[in-house]
């Protein structure tokens, strides 16, 4: 095993151990009420940030390309409460069709 792969394995194991520390040490405790609300909002906020940066990010500039159109059509599908697979299919099809032309 090369040193690069050894580093990858060590960092991976350290990451897993670090992430497991919270649930192992605090797993049976309830979060305080003042903390439960913001923690519940973290996952949607991080997901939204990732979607936006992947949709419009270029090399240090904003890019309007077919991904943005797919995102917009997907957002409309979510707004009309379409099933998740339909949202994904409609957004991907829109982006693919725009790339063709």
> Is 35 inside a domain boundary?
no
CA-wise closest residue to 98 among 62, 61, 71: 71
Range of the domain at 25: 1-30
Structure tokens at 52: 């936006």
Using CA atoms, how far apart are residues 22 and 28, in angstroms rounded to an integer?
11
Write the DSSP symbol of residue 28.
T
Max CA separation in the chain (angstroms): 55
Q: Look at residue 36 and give its three-state secondary structure.
A: helix
Q: What is the pTM of this model?
A: 0.60
> Is 53 inside a domain boundary?
no
- Which tens digits make up the pLDDT trace of 38-86? 888 999 999 989 988 888 887 888 888 899 999 999 999 999 999 999 9
> Is 8 inside a domain boundary?
yes
> Is 94 inside a domain boundary?
no
> Is 57 inside a domain boundary?
no
> Is 5 inside a domain boundary?
yes
Domain total of the chain: 1
> Is 4 inside a domain boundary?
yes
> Is 17 inside a domain boundary?
yes
């Amino acid at each position: 095993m090369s040193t690069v792969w050894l580093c990858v394995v060590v960092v991976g194991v350290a990451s897993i151990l670090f992430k497991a520390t919270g649930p192992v040490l605090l797993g049976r405790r309830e979060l305080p009420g003042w903390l439960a609300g913001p923690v519940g909002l973290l996952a949607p906020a991080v997901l939204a940030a990732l979607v936006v940066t992947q949709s419009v990010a270029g090399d240090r500039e904003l890019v309007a390309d077919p991904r943005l159109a797919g995102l917009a059509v997907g957002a409309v599908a979510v707004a009309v409460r379409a099933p998740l697979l339909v949202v994904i299919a409609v957004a991907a099809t829109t982006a693919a069709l725009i790339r063709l032309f």
